[in-house]
Amino acid sequence: MHLELKSLLGFSLLAGVALGVHPLLADDWPQWLGPQRDAVWRESGIVEKFAADGPPVRWRTAIGAGYAGPAVADGKVYLTDRQLAEGASNPANPFQRGTIPGSERVLCLNEADGKILWQHKYDCPYTVSYPAGPRATPVVSDGKVYTLGTEGNLFCFEAATGKILWSHDFKKDYGIPTPVWGFCAHPLLDGNKLICLAGGDGSTAVAFDKDSGKELWRALTAKEPGYCPPMIFEAGGKRQLIIWHPESVNSLDPETGKVYWSQPCNIRSGMTIPTPRKMGDLLYVTCFYNGSTMLRLDANKPVATEVWASKKVSEKDTDALHSTMSTPFLEDGYIYGVCSYGQLRCLKADTGERVWETLKATTPDGKEMRWANAFIVKNGDRFFLFNEKGDLIITKLSPEGYEEISRAHLLEPTGTAAGRDVLWSHPAFANRCMYARNDKEIICVSLAAIK
């Protein structure tokens, strides 16, 4: 940008503030759960209620299959998909594992019209259960985009051109097998480090130099790495890297990988999936069978103690919250999240006591369904819920209950799970739009308030 243009833009912004006019600034969504990795969409000027025919679709682009959500940054949309080899097919039973020939792609689209600007395709036979496609959302920063594929292919690309700057193959580099449901943990970019879950002896968590790909440190040992995204929170006077794998919740020094503390657990089927959430001095995790655990982080040193935990290890006979894949939202002393059979629940954060639950956000007929899901994002005083049926719901969530404001059906569910069609890809919210995909297309829907 020329200096003159920068000066003009700066003057315009200052003039707007001086006149009491607040310019509407567009935000990117460059990683899992948004700019601050907290599921908060901070843009203003967003629609209050959908029109009868729903929000306008700006564009649609044909793509392949996958669970991975898109990332939006610097006028481009990045996502990954899978292409089956000619003559190949996925098993009728998605739990069945074999070797299915095919490839993965990394796609870069023009944000304005959805046209594909570049793509990188690589051979990638699948050996996983639920082999639809890639799982992890790309990370975009400083002219680079980082992607992690289902079979452990980690890439760093030049964001503008798709040139490969460096890469790793987790299975070859660390001598580890592919987890049952693939490599899923969305990579975390922290300073000069890209932090990933890999697996194996001493390498469950690995940090790479973001520019060269050189390994900086490795830490932790677990029989399987799980699927939970790494997170960094401040507590006890330290920046703590939280790694939750099926054997323990762990706090590490993000600069060195040194372990501050570990809280043992024994998570059934390795299902550490939802992102850990922090509220005040409380750190919360939840999973399908084992339910919830609430920890308190010490104010003076990196130490954690258990506050409460679910007493039932069950997918159906649940207490507190047994979330399958949806990351809960914590605020004002309460937890809002989706339980194992689609129950959107409100809990008291300090005790885990259930305040209310509803199936209105997740299931079409009010009946419990195994793994029924909705992704939860906050905007202002409202929430945007994108459920597995492809409905986008504007709602208010409070201790008083679930208050649905508006709903629009935007995408068809094209995946299969528990005998029904599902859509299990987290959307991105940027530029007053939502970007969402199924196994056939990605769409950009305008959510800007109509003037």
- Asked whether 310 and 318 are in contact (CB, 8 A), the reply is yes
Instruction: Check whether 23 has a pLDDT greater than 70.
Output: no
Provide mean pLDDT across the span 69-85. 98
Residues with Cβ within 8 Å of 4's Cβ and at least 6 positions away in sequence, in order, are: none
Higher pLDDT, 450 or 387: 387
Average pLDDT over residues 199-207: 97
Q: Are 361 and 355 in contact (CB under 8 A)?
A: no
Q: Please, which residues have CB within 8 angstroms of residue 421's CB and are 6 or more apart in sequence?
A: 412, 413, 414, 415
Q: Is the pLDDT of residue 18 over 70?
A: no
Rounded to the nearest 5°, which phi and psi values hold at 17? -65, -45
pLDDT tens, 283-332?
A: 999 999 999 999 999 999 999 999 999 999 999 999 999 999 999 999 99
Strands 428-430 and 215-219: unpaired
Q: Is the pLDDT of residue 12 over 80?
A: no
Strand, coil or helix: what is 323? coil
Cα–Cα distance measured from residue 304 to residue 249, given in angstroms and rounded to the nearest whole number: 10
- Which tens digits make up the pLDDT trace of 240-282? 999 999 999 999 999 999 999 999 999 999 999 999 999 999 9
Residue 201 pLDDT more than 90? yes
Helices (H) and strands (E) in the chain, counts: 2, 34
Roughly how many angstroms between the first and final C-alpha of the chain, as a whole number?
Answer: 30
Nearest to 103 by CA among 142, 149, 145, 139: 149
For the chain, how big is the Rg over CA atoms in Å? 21
Dihedral angle, C-alpha 180, 182, 186, 187, nearest 10 °? 110
Residue 301: per-residue pLDDT = 97
Q: What is the mean pLDDT of the chain?
A: 94
Q: Give the integer Cα–Cα distance in Å for 426 and 14.
A: 36
pLDDT mean over 332-339: 98
Share of the chain above pLDDT 90, in %: 92
Per-residue pLDDT band for 15 (boundaries 50, 70, 90) equals: very low
HSE-CB at 351 with a 13 A cutoff on CA atoms is: 4
pLDDT at 35 over 50: yes
Note the pLDDT of residue 10.
42
Q: Residue 189 pairs with which residues in a beta bridge?
A: 194
Contact 203, 174 (CB under 8 A): yes
State the sign of the Cα–Cα–Cα–Cα dihedral 190, 194, 199, 201: negative
For residue 1, the SS3 value is coil
- Owner of token pair 């939202």: 329
Locus of tokens 């939006």: 72
Other Cβ atoms closer than 10 A to 400 = 10
The residue that leads in pLDDT, 18 or 225, is 225
Digit-coded pLDDT (tens) for 161-190: 999 999 999 999 999 999 999 999 999 999
pLDDT tens, 205-224? 999 999 999 999 999 999 99
DSSP for 239-268 reads EEEEEEETTEEEEE-TTT--EEEEEE---G
**Structure tokens, 247:** 């054997």
Q: What's the pLDDT score for residue 25?
A: 56
Confidence of residue 6 (pLDDT cuts 50, 70, 90): very low
pLDDT at 365 (0 to 100): 87
Residue 96 has pLDDT above 70, yes or no: yes
Structure tokens at 273: 């999936």
